[in-house]
Amino acid sequence: MADKKELRIGLIGCGFMGRTHTNGYKRVNDFFPEVGYRPVLKTVCSRTEEKVQAFADQWGYESIETDWRDVIARDDIDAVDICTPNSTHEEIAVAAAEAGKMVLCEKPLARNVEEGQRMVDAIEKAGVPNTVWYNYRRVPAVSLIKHIIDSGKLGRIFHYRANFLQDFTINPDVPQGGEALWRLDKEVAGSGVTGDLLAHCIDTAMWLNGGIKDVSAVAETFVKERVHQETGEEEKVEIDDACIFHCHFDNGSLGLFEATRYARGHKALYTLEINGENASLRWDLHDMNRLEFFDYADEPEVRGWSSIHVTEGEHPFMDKWWVPGLSIGYEHTFVHQVADFLKSLDNDEPCSPTFKEAQETQKVCEAILDSASSGSWKETGVEW
Amino acid sequence: MADKKELRIGLIGCGFMGRTHTNGYKRVNDFFPEVGYRPVLKTVCSRTEEKVQAFADQWGYESIETDWRDVIARDDIDAVDICTPNSTHEEIAVAAAEAGKMVLCEKPLARNVEEGQRMVDAIEKAGVPNTVWYNYRRVPAVSLIKHIIDSGKLGRIFHYRANFLQDFTINPDVPQGGEALWRLDKEVAGSGVTGDLLAHCIDTAMWLNGGIKDVSAVAETFVKERVHQETGEEEKVEIDDACIFHCHFDNGSLGLFEATRYARGHKALYTLEINGENASLRWDLHDMNRLEFFDYADEPEVRGWSSIHVTEGEHPFMDKWWVPGLSIGYEHTFVHQVADFLKSLDNDEPCSPTFKEAQETQKVCEAILDSASSGSWKETGVEW
Amino acid sequence: MADKKELRIGLIGCGFMGRTHTNGYKRVNDFFPEVGYRPVLKTVCSRTEEKVQAFADQWGYESIETDWRDVIARDDIDAVDICTPNSTHEEIAVAAAEAGKMVLCEKPLARNVEEGQRMVDAIEKAGVPNTVWYNYRRVPAVSLIKHIIDSGKLGRIFHYRANFLQDFTINPDVPQGGEALWRLDKEVAGSGVTGDLLAHCIDTAMWLNGGIKDVSAVAETFVKERVHQETGEEEKVEIDDACIFHCHFDNGSLGLFEATRYARGHKALYTLEINGENASLRWDLHDMNRLEFFDYADEPEVRGWSSIHVTEGEHPFMDKWWVPGLSIGYEHTFVHQVADFLKSLDNDEPCSPTFKEAQETQKVCEAILDSASSGSWKETGVEW
Amino acid sequence: MADKKELRIGLIGCGFMGRTHTNGYKRVNDFFPEVGYRPVLKTVCSRTEEKVQAFADQWGYESIETDWRDVIARDDIDAVDICTPNSTHEEIAVAAAEAGKMVLCEKPLARNVEEGQRMVDAIEKAGVPNTVWYNYRRVPAVSLIKHIIDSGKLGRIFHYRANFLQDFTINPDVPQGGEALWRLDKEVAGSGVTGDLLAHCIDTAMWLNGGIKDVSAVAETFVKERVHQETGEEEKVEIDDACIFHCHFDNGSLGLFEATRYARGHKALYTLEINGENASLRWDLHDMNRLEFFDYADEPEVRGWSSIHVTEGEHPFMDKWWVPGLSIGYEHTFVHQVADFLKSLDNDEPCSPTFKEAQETQKVCEAILDSASSGSWKETGVEW
């Protein structure tokens, strides 16, 4: 440890994502001893002093800040990690980049394409290392999908389908806005399930199956009004509660995507399936250590969907953890992304998904929302 | 048995569906002794004498015909069962109805709305008993879904999704047309997966969740040319290999449907899921004796998706078969429909789905194909 | 059909098993047209005239008898099918064999080894075709297991485990004895779950994995007294409610078996698993169309348990039924056994399991009961 | 953090278990901020200096030792954590207790009852806090089982079954002995799968279902000779490769247990099922975030096995981690045990399982091995 370089982290935001990222920083060297950097929890920032102090105490940050500008102004910060609501991403990221800081930004990159583009421009101008926390790519089973596809086992792809089903806003008494529920406030979040959930599905999809060319979408807001926590008033809900779209990928395959917060019985059911000429794959987040694989090359008599318990040394990331048969969980995806970010610094290479890649997902999200409001197909303009 | 009335069947077509229906007729009285009718296998008709004679011998039909008009002309036939390709449904059904025969027609009702409407008109004018073989309604687990929904356990419905995934035409060497593959010939079938597979999903969906108001669809033909079995030439494939649509139901819920013959690893994977305010249900045809049920009313600590093995005496149709834990299969759905058809004669009531109901499914299919070709939303005009 | 030889059946007993066998006779020619025989439902026999007449009417038997001796005495009966309680098997089977009838006997063969041996002796002396209805061998997935094992894919076998879990006697108010519950009456049944459930597991196990050499067992009667339906009195329950045993197979593998009627939530959960050096297999009756297969020869990265939907044309018996993806059920196992019995007549070969093979299962059952009562290991004396 | 008391850890052994425990110490305060103690990684000890230094560097131990006696002699150590092979447990634990250290010992407690008893005596005489790392109790789903049983939902228990299936020693070329494979060396391990795997199953079983009264077992060593890593010679394998036993629990239920390292396709498949009069539960380690629950009190029509995704705030330990639907993994069980150990210090209460409880498991293990070698039932002498 002594010979590792320090990577001094300034974390902005100390909510749920602040916890997942911090856990990633704290664990990475225990399990990825080969990386050249050692994250140091230099400071954490949030507007409410009492809250941020408690967070710093619990997690071991050396100091606190209550204005994110002060984090960026500090000389002892190498990397700024943005875990604040979407409406603040642009301003912080641009300032951090201009100050020459590395930037790690929680997804989605921004509220819209316009903001995202300014962020990409600033990052590229500054030439600083950067990444966006689309963490699900680094579920070992999902990384294994990528590996299997790259091996050519699937052949021509016909279908890609994914959904992300939750049920946490069914109750109309759930309010909108405020610290806990900004995801329901369009001004802060930019969109509802499209940016929150579909963005994950789209990032994975384009990573695995290439660019999405055009989309046709429908969105719905089932509960039309909710009390806003900042005003105390019933206000119109402007985000999309549910959104469905189909699309063409650049490779000619058909895509089908759905996200909702109104699927009773599902908490974080991100599922994906890809059907190729010669093989198919499917996965879901509720059973994240398993991957199902159908290979037409198997003997007809014993051909079936194989349930792979992705916990073997041969599987992505799994040689770092325990022994075959023993599972890892959600939080490990963030440890993996930290590890890959640190390796990218070692090797002076980009850490995917970069801001630039995340902006392509942003384009798809915007095309979806446009299509949903216009009722017609939209080109995405994605370059993958 | 002696005191049962005869229902003298004239079966037209002796392919796969001829077998499933015949099996239904032969078994119904063994398991549903309470019905007042006894099907009698009077005649079976197909153009090729040798083939139809072999079928009659194997299954026990009393006679054969090689021209369907001769079936309809016979006085000793009470009910005409149409198992021929879609392009012949209208002509046979209309003639049968005009001759005062009961008519049982394989799905889809017709190639298009126009044909379907003439069939409905003829049937209604004749006032004859009729039904269309959307057999999946009578999978006990699917009938149980209907029962649970009707009980009010789900509350307001938010989402309905279904797909029907097959993989049997991935190989481009599979030809189109001819007796075995008329489903790939647009002239004969009317459409591809839309009429063949989505029609099943739509019939079940409207039965369970009410009318579909409008649709937005995409269709694809992955293999553009195939040898036509009648000409021996490579010809353009005009049917839809895959079709996806989303829709609004009259009750405000969002629907999502997909069918394809290019989903490697799936043979007849008809799945459906419905998410309500208070409960959700899902089912698939590959594990057809199971129903999954999530009930938010359960205690939080033990709340989960319950896998119901639908083989108990309390479950629809299952008191007729074996004992709890012992499965039935695909063919039983046809026995159930025959039983219900015979009961409908006993009670002088319609046997759902009637031609009129099946025509509503036809309207949705046509709207789907229109939407897919135009790229815009289409109203279905369904009245459910 | 006209050119098939008649096989004139005399069915003795018209309970649950009478129905399953009759259904087998009635359906076999529809699906196995190649067999040379045609079962004819000549007569059915049961002590209560009204009941047997109703059965004959429903299922189409030509006549009834109320004394089984009259069935055997009839010249127009080729085969006697014994579906009566276990205590009657010996007397009927021996008489039928001596009269030169073919004999099909419901399992278990007898109440004990002594009875079974007299049955085998009589059958062999008479030289008549015979079989015992251990129907689960002919579940297509179970037949496929046999095929895979015979192919050598498993290598040396280490473990075999099976259980048969039910829950239908948990309620202490369930009585014992009488027509419906003779399985709880030791005098009639011979034993409890050992003869009723374990016998199935043992027959399959020895068919798949060879002879069982010795056993160590424990049995339990959880509800000590139940009202006897014939006396109306609380009487001691003498059958085994639950029985567990482990054993050595002749091939050196370890076996583990359990049966109970006190496993809440399981109806007919017959499961089996076999672990070989190179591959493993598992199956259960509740999802009877699926077989799970693990093959160590697969590439490490994608190695997993494959869920084979045993509905393809390549799978045992399945070319006779529908198309890939479409399930069959419990009753089909009896159709398959009838088909194989008829083929065995065509070919003048034994139809496995014969009385002689079923007697080996009887020996294991008796060793189990002996071991359970003595608390020590017992040799079975099985010759497989 | 500043106000927490230090708990200065001396870890003895730095193999696989050294990693899991260390990870537990490092993470506990991040997720259980309410505990009054803060583990400090004071020293780690192993015989090979180079190896232990590398471990200390990677994990952040302040110092190293190469003789465990030096750890015990240090004044700055509060708690000794024993992660060394079984043959060393007694000596270290007794010395540590006599030195007044808290003792945390990896399972099984000892090689046999005699050693275990001396350890219990020493611990009790010293009166020091102690615990044994039977970590699977603290899988949230397993803790939930305990909670459901304690709620009375199951009623009278009839059956308990568990197995622990692995496949890692099938290859006869795997050697025995040495640092990596001491589990195959009887002198060091005491037994094979009995102490390694069945001990886990027994600890959980008695915690959930009370004492095991007597056992009847069979054991097998499939590969009779393996190269010993210390001698380089083929030597007789003396441990049990596989072990099966059935038993009576004090509450009258029947138990059935199996462990093996020869079940091809299973890596760490610890499964358990418990059947009560009114409800049943089952769980397996490969899908450790799920619990299956059958409740006979549910309405008959919708009764089934409920798959509970044990990731909700209502579930044991899960309010400490992420949000509903997001899984945790194997390692979290150790964090939970550390948390409970620290709480037990706060409250001056024992942390279950204590040495005394673990000794009861030891008694069952010894009875199993005795029964397997004698072929007869053995009383365990357990007092639960």
> Domain of A241: which CATH number?
3.30.360.10
Distances (CA, A) of C28 to A98, C7, C37, C136, C368: 81, 12, 10, 17, 36
pLDDT for position B2: 65
pLDDT for position D180: 84
Helix (H, G, I), strand (E, B) or coil at A270: strand
Element (H, E) at A144: helix A140-150
- Does the structure show a pLDDT above 80 at D2? no
**Gap between the Cα atoms of D204 and D163, Å rounded:** 12
**Gap between the Cα atoms of C326 and B243, Å rounded:** 22
- Does the structure show a pLDDT above 70 at D371? yes
Q: Which of D57, D58, D328 sits opposite A329 (nearest CB)?
A: D328
Among residues C249, C247, C258, which one has the least CA distance to residue C378?
C247
Last residue of a domain, one of D90, D111, D135: D135
Last residue of a domain, one of C112, C135, C158: C135
Element (H, E) at A60: none
In this structure, the answer to whether residues B290 and B348 fall within a common structural domain is: yes
Locate D346 and state its tokens: 């706060």
Contact C44, C18 (CB under 8 A): yes
**Gap between the Cα atoms of B285 and B287, Å rounded:** 5
In this structure, the answer to whether residues B160 and B102 fall within a common structural domain is: no
pLDDT tens string B33-77:
999 999 999 999 999 999 999 999 999 999 999 999 999 999 999
Q: Which of B23, B325, B332 sits opposite C286 (nearest CB)?
A: B325
B&C contacts, CB < 8 Å: 109
**Gap between the Cα atoms of D352 and D341, Å rounded:** 8
Q: Which of residues 263-282 of D touch C (CB under 8 A)?
A: 263-266, 275-280
CA distance C327 to chain A (A): 15
Q: Which of D27, D58, D309 sits opposite A286 (nearest CB)?
A: D309
Contact A27, A35 (CB under 8 A): no
A&D contacts, CB < 8 Å: 111
> Domain of C78: which CATH number?
3.40.50.720
Grade residue C180 by pLDDT with cuts at 50, 70 and 90.
confident
In this structure, the answer to whether residues D282 and D367 fall within a common structural domain is: yes
D309 contact B CB<8A: yes
CA distance B230 to chain C (A): 24
Q: Which of B244, B245, B278 sits opposite A264 (nearest CB)?
A: B278
Q: Do A242 and B276 touch (CB under 8 A)?
A: no
Chains adjacent to C (≥3 CB pairs closer than 8 angstroms): A, B, D
Strand partners, A376: B376
Residue A384 in domain: no
Q: Which of C59, C322, C328 sits opposite B30 (nearest CB)?
A: C59
A&C contacts, CB < 8 Å: 54
In eight-state DSSP terms, residue A106 is P
B307 contact C CB<8A: no
Element (H, E) at A250: none
Chains adjacent to B (≥3 CB pairs closer than 8 angstroms): A, C, D
**Gap between the Cα atoms of B44 and A122, Å rounded:** 77
Q: Pairing mode, if any, of strands C269-276 and C279-284?
A: antiparallel
Residue A197 in domain: yes
Exposed (0-12), middle (13-18) or buried (19+): which is B109, by Cβ within 10 Å? Answer: buried
Contact D16, A323 (CB under 8 A): yes
Question: What are the φ and ψ backbone dihedral angles of C304, each rounded to 5 degrees?
Answer: -170, -175
D317 contact B CB<8A: no
pLDDT for position C179: 85
Number of domains in chain C: 2
**Gap between the Cα atoms of C197 and C199, Å rounded:** 5
Average pLDDT value for residue range C128-156: 98
Q: Which of D170, D222, D276 sits opposite C264 (nearest CB)?
A: D276
In this structure, the answer to whether residues D258 and D290 fall within a common structural domain is: yes
Last residue of a domain, one of B135, B156, B183: B135
Give the number of other Cβ atoms within 10 Å of residue B71's Cβ. 27
Residue B384 in domain: no
Enter the ipTM.
Answer: 0.97
Closest residue in D to C298 (Cα–Cα): D265
Tell me the percentage of chain D whose pLDDT exceeds 90.
98
Q: Do B286 and C30 touch (CB under 8 A)?
A: no
pLDDT tens string C325-339:
999 999 999 999 999
In this structure, the answer to whether residues C173 and C293 fall within a common structural domain is: yes
Among residues B334, B330, B343, which one has the least CA distance to residue B83?
B334
- Does the structure show a pLDDT above 90 at D3? no
pLDDT for position B192: 97
Chain D residues in contact with C279 by the CB 8 A cut-off are 264-265
C370 contact A CB<8A: no
Q: In chain B, what is the straight-line distance between the N-terminal and C-terminal CA atoms, in Å?
A: 38
pLDDT for position B334: 98
D246 contact C CB<8A: yes
Among residues C197, C208, C306, which one has the least CA distance to residue C255?
C208
A246 contact B CB<8A: yes
Chain B residues in contact with D316 by the CB 8 A cut-off are none
**Gap between the Cα atoms of C355 and C97, Å rounded:** 12
B148 contact D CB<8A: yes
DSSP codes of every residue in A161-215 = EEEEE--TT-STTS-BBTTTBGGG-HHHHSSSHIIIIIHHHHHHHHHHH--EEEE
Tell me the percentage of chain C whose pLDDT exceeds 90.
98
pLDDT tens string D170-184:
999 999 998 889 999
Chain B residues in contact with C60 by the CB 8 A cut-off are 1, 30
Locate A272 and state its tokens: 């994906």
Sheet holding A5-12, edge to edge: A63-65, A37-45, A5-12, A79-82, A102-105, A130-132
In this structure, the answer to whether residues B322 and B174 fall within a common structural domain is: yes
Residue C207 in domain: yes
Among residues B382, B112, B109, which one has the least CA distance to residue B247?
B382
Q: Which of B304, B312, B314 sits opposite D306 (nearest CB)?
A: B304
Q: Which of C167, C220, C294 sits opposite D264 (nearest CB)?
A: C294
Closest residue in B to A376 (Cα–Cα): B376
**Ranges in chain A, pLDDT < 70:** 1-2
Element (H, E) at A308: strand A305-309
pLDDT tens string D38-85:
999 999 999 999 999 999 999 999 999 999 999 999 999 999 999 999
Residue C384 in domain: no
Contact D115, D89 (CB under 8 A): yes
**Could you tell me how far CA A267 lies from the centroid of its own chain?**
17
Chains adjacent to D (≥3 CB pairs closer than 8 angstroms): A, B, C
How does the average pLDDT of chain C come out, rounded?
A: 97
SS3 sequence of chain C: CCCCEEEEEEEECCCHHHHHHHHHHHHHHHHCCCCCEEEEEEEEECCCHHHHHHHHHHHCCCEEECCHHHHHHCCCCCEEEECCCHHHHHHHHHHHHHCCCEEEECCCCCCCHHHHHHHHHHHHHHCCCEEECCHHHHCHHHHHHHHHHHCCCCCCEEEEEEEEECCCCCCCCCCEECCCEHHHCHHHHCCCHHHHHHHHHHHHHHHHHCCEEEEEEEEECCCCEEEECCCCCEEECCCCCEEEEEEEECCCCEEEEEEECCCCCCCCEEEEEEEECCEEEEEEHHHCCEEEEEECCCCHHHCCEEEEECCCCCCCCHHHCCCCCCCCCCCHHHHHHHHHHHHHHHHCCCCCCCHHHHHHHHHHHHHHHHHHHHCECEECCCCC
In this structure, the answer to whether residues A130 and A163 fall within a common structural domain is: no
In this structure, the answer to whether residues B232 and B362 fall within a common structural domain is: yes
**Gap between the Cα atoms of B225 and B237, Å rounded:** 5
Closest residue in C to D216 (Cα–Cα): C216
- Please work out, in degrees rounded to the nearest 5, the angle formed at the alpha carbon of residue D364 by the alpha carbons of D286 and D197: 25
Residue B357 in domain: yes
Residue C325 in domain: yes
Grade residue C2 by pLDDT with cuts at 50, 70 and 90.
low
Question: What are the φ and ψ backbone dihedral angles of B321, each rounded to 5 degrees?
Answer: -105, -115
**Ranges in chain B, pLDDT < 70:** 1-2
pLDDT for position D190: 96
Among residues B233, C142, B263, which one has the least CA distance to residue A277?
B263
Cis peptide preceding C85, ω within 30 of 0: no
In this structure, the answer to whether residues A99 and A143 fall within a common structural domain is: no
Among residues C280, C328, C335, C289, which one has the least CA distance to residue C310?
C289
Locate A59 and state its tokens: 């997690």
Distances (CA, A) of A383 to A16, A90, A212, C66: 32, 22, 9, 83
**Could you tell me how far CA D177 lies from the centroid of its own chain?**
21
Among residues D289, D361, D281, which one has the least CA distance to residue D325?
D289
CA distance B311 to chain D (A): 10
Domain residues for the domain of D66 are 5-135
Q: Do D325 and A166 touch (CB under 8 A)?
A: yes
Q: Pairing mode, if any, of strands A279-284 and A102-105?
A: unpaired
**Gap between the Cα atoms of D152 and B382, Å rounded:** 52
pLDDT for position B93: 98
Residue D384 in domain: no
Locate A195 and state its tokens: 């940016």
Q: Do A268 and D331 touch (CB under 8 A)?
A: no
Tell me the torsion sign for CA atoms A35, A37, A42, A48: negative
Closest residue in A to B241 (Cα–Cα): A158
Contact C16, C330 (CB under 8 A): no
Q: Do B242 and A375 touch (CB under 8 A)?
A: no
Among residues A77, A80, A76, which one has the least CA distance to residue A13?
A80
Chain C residues in contact with D159 by the CB 8 A cut-off are 242, 260, 262-263
In this structure, the answer to whether residues C181 and C36 fall within a common structural domain is: no
In this structure, the answer to whether residues D112 and D147 fall within a common structural domain is: no
**Gap between the Cα atoms of D63 and B90, Å rounded:** 88
In this structure, the answer to whether residues D173 and D111 fall within a common structural domain is: no
Q: Which of B148, B303, B309 sits opposite D304 (nearest CB)?
A: B309
pLDDT tens string C204-233:
999 999 999 999 999 999 999 999 999 999
pLDDT tens string C264-314:
999 999 999 999 999 999 999 999 999 999 999 999 999 999 999 999 999
Amino acid at D259: A
Question: What are the φ and ψ backbone dihedral angles of A246, each rounded to 5 degrees?
Answer: -115, 160
Chain C residues in contact with D262 by the CB 8 A cut-off are 158-159, 275
